[in-house]
Amino acid sequence: MVNRNFELSQEPLWAIPHAVQERMEVGVDASDYRNFLLSGFYSALAVFMLLVFGFYSITVGQDANAAMLFSIAGLTIFGYAISWAGSWYWLAKYVISVLMAILALFLFYTGGLQNTGPLFYFIFPSVALVLHGRLRGIIWIIVLLILTIFIWHGVFAFDVNRYSNAFVTRVLGITLERAANSLQAAQSQHGNCCQAL
């Protein structure tokens, strides 16, 4: 016999879970906890992708690249766990941003797999702006691009012939364009919200 007297939750799938609501009402800053949850989503996705690309790097014989990818994955898990265990929800977004910037610079420096490392720069603006807001997100992006320009001009014995000047200029330009588009989208969304009020 099947018992048919069970109850399904009537809450929609996108509702904030009750435990999360309680934690937010206890006094934890809602924006920090929101960023903590966003960082957790990014961390899970990033760790999965880092492991996939790490194992692929091993199969093609790029052990140094694999070691860096596995290290960043491990540090991501460790940093997120520390911020969760200590209830330092504000820390998660900084851990994620710093590790992502380090990975972007490393992949630019080494070329990644077949010199595709700079493509990682196209992800950074969205993450920085979502986690840090407009002004601080732009600062994170500009700092990353300035460090990239220093490396590109031969700092740390970088092989300046690895990429053509046109390629690096386009990568940097597209990174800035993505940041500007994200800002513009955020401003238009903010404007639409204000008009609705």
Q: Is the pLDDT of residue 10 over 60?
A: no
pLDDT at residue number 37:
83
Q: Is the pLDDT of residue 197 over 80?
A: no
Whether 32 and 89 have beta carbons less than 8 Å apart is answered as: yes
pLDDT at residue number 35:
75
Q: What is the mean pLDDT of residues 94-99?
A: 91
pLDDT at residue number 78:
93
C-alpha angle 124-125-128 in degrees, rounded to nearest 5: 85
Q: What is the mean pLDDT of residues 16-39?
A: 66
Q: Is the dihedral of CA 51, 56, 58, 59 positive or negative?
A: positive
pLDDT at residue number 16:
58
Q: What is the mean pLDDT of residues 95-107?
A: 91
Q: Is the pLDDT of residue 17 over 90?
A: no
| Each residue's pLDDT tens digit, 120-172 | 888 888 888 888 888 888 899 999 999 998 888 877 788 888 888 888 888 88
Most confident range (mean pLDDT) of 34-48, 59-73, 79-93, 161-175 is: 59-73
Q: Which of 139, 148, 195 is nearest to 171 (CA)?
A: 148
What is the domain partition of the chain in residue ranges? 28-196
Q: How much of the chain, in percent, has pLDDT values that exceed 90? A: 21
pLDDT at residue number 1:
47
- Classified as helix, coil or strand, 80 is helix
For residue 55, what pLDDT band results from cuts at 50, 70 and 90?
Answer: very high
pLDDT at residue number 115:
80
pLDDT at residue number 20:
58
- Identify the residue with better confidence: 195 or 26: 26
DSSP state letter for 88: -
